[in-house]
């Protein structure tokens, strides 16, 4: 009986100690919110485009070094990696945040509104964090500080601050793909990777996830149409590449609407740019089309790619023009390892509450976190960033994009909880 009483007392002491430690950790996380918001506002006001995030990287590296971490800079041009070792050996977990902005002019009336400029495709452009990457940086910096002060875990955490998620400048490599090629998942070898994306259209204090494919594969494509220049008053004297381009665009849409098995998975084909001609009375020599393809099934992607390559020159030939199409590899499907997702679901429910965690349908947006998840088991989730009382939520990549900063603390809490739960299992 005495032995049983001793065991019960020891168990109660352990539970009490754990509860105190958890309370202390919760206090530290809550206390860091103001810092996270301050960092976010600084990054928002000073955005930089992909592979040009020089000042952003400097700020990140300075913070990680101040926490006593081993820090690597210049990874995939401007990426930063911090390595935090726990007090005991164990697994290696990667936490990732993307750091680049977009060539978008901000319209939101904020005291920390961006008026930054950058260069894109040879032209000066406005730059804005129009996708929330500023919040991702700040959240992960907060996680780094909390875990550096509470590293009584078994294993290692690798903090990956990744450039050029929105794509490298033309003619350059970059992003997660280049980081992987340069060995970011090695030395020490990563066992799993977690990533998040804030969502301007999902209420704050909620988490959305999906086992399997959660975001689409993305491919940008370019089409060059060649005709024969002539006077606009005499179209019969030449070959009109604009007419051929219009028919090509029309034809490409039928691949999705008439050939893709959309009850199986979604697919989207959109044209984002057409460029041809200089004035009203000249039918030009060439036309240029740029677009994007989003797919959630590898087989459908291959089928659509093949039909695009067949259709483009055939339609151009019907209008006496010539056309070529290039379709680079692009980003793969962002795939959440089902076993890892199930393993981490309780972590989501601990931080957000079971009623605020949702299994959602896949989206046709794309993410190059997919390159990490191709190499190691990955889990990518959406963090709410919308004011629940707001009537309108502007989409990502738009001038009016807006994030409610009250949603960021849940990101810090969730990454910390996931880290302790994963490394402790």
Catalytic sites, residue numbers: 331, 405
Contacts for 56 with CB less than 8 Å, ≥ 6 apart: 43, 46, 47, 48, 78, 99, 137
CA dihedral (119, 393, 207, 50) in degrees, to 10, reads 0
Ramachandran area for residue 212 (φ above 0: left; ψ -120 to 50: alpha; else beta): left
Q: Which two tokens stand for residue 34?
A: 């103001």
Contacts for 9 with CB less than 8 Å, ≥ 6 apart: none
Q: Return the closest-CA partner of residue 381 out of 136, 29, 47, 35.
A: 136
Q: Return the closest-CA partner of residue 84 out of 29, 156, 34.
A: 156
Q: Return the closest-CA partner of residue 225 out of 171, 271, 290, 279.
A: 290
On the 0-12 / 13-18 / 19+ scale of CB atoms within 10 A, 261 is: exposed
Please report, in angstroms and rounded to a whole number, the separation of the first and last CA atoms in the chain: 33
Phi, psi at residue 265, to the nearest 5°? -155, 160
Q: Which two tokens stand for residue 68?
A: 């006593």
Exposure pattern of 214-244 as b/e (b: 16+ CB <10 Å)? Answer: bbbbbbebebbbebeebeeeeeeebbbbbbb
Contact 138, 37 (CB under 8 A): yes
The CB density around residue 101, as the number of other CB atoms within 10 Å, is: 28
Contact 402, 108 (CB under 8 A): yes
């Amino acid at each position: 009986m005495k032995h049983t009483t001793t065991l019960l007392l020891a168990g109660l002491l352990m539970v009490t100690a754990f509860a105190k430690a958890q309370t202390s950790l919760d206090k530290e996380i809550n206390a860091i919110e103001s810092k996270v918001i301050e960092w976010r506002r600084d990054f928002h006001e000073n955005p930089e485009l992909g592979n040009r995030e020089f000042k952003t990287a400097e700020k990140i590296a300075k913070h990680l070094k101040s926490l006593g971490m081993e820090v690597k800079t210049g990874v995939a041009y401007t990426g930063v990696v911090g390595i935090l070792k726990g007090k005991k050996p164990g697994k290696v977990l990667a936490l990732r945040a993307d750091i680049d902005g977009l060539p978008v002019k901000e319209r939101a009336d904020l005291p920390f509104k961006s008026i930054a400029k950058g260069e894109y495709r040879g032209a000066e452009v406005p730059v804005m964090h129009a996708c929330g990457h500023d919040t991702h940086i700040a959240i992960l910096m907060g996680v780094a500080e909390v875990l550096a002060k509470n590293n009584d875990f078994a294993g290692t955490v690798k903090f990956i601050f990744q450039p050029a998620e929105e794509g490298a400048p033309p003619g350059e490599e970059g992003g997660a793909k280049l980081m992987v090629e340069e060995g970011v998942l090695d030395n020490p070898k990563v066992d799993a990777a977690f990533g998040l994306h804030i969502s301007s259209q999902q209420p704050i204090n909620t988490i959305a996830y999906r086992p399997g494919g959660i975001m689409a594969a993305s491919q940008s494509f370019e089409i060059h149409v060649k005709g024969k220049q002539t006077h606009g008053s005499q179209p019969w004297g030449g070959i009109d590449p604009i007419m051929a381009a219009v028919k090509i665009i029309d034809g490409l849409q039928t691949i999705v609407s008439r050939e893709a098995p959309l009850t199986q998975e979604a697919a989207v084909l959109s044209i984002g740019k057409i460029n041809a001609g200089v004035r009203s009375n000249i039918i030009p020599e060439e036309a240029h089309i740029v677009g994007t393809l989003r797919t959630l099934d590898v087989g459908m992607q291959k089928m659509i790619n093949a039909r695009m390559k067949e259709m483009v020159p055939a339609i151009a030939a019907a209008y006496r023009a010539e056309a070529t199409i290039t379709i680079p590899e692009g980003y793969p499907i962002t795939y959440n390892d089902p076993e890892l997702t199930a393993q981490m679901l309780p972590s989501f429910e601990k931080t957000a509450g079971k009623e605020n965690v949702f299994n959602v349908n896949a989206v046709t947006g794309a993410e190059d976190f997919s390159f990490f998840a191709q190499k190691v088991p990955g889990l990518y989730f959406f963090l709410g960033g919308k004011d629940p009382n707001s009537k309108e939520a502007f989409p990502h990549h738009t001038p009016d994009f807006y994030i409610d900063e009250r949603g960021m603390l849940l990101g810090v809490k969730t990454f910390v909880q996931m880290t302790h739960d994963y490394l402790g299992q």
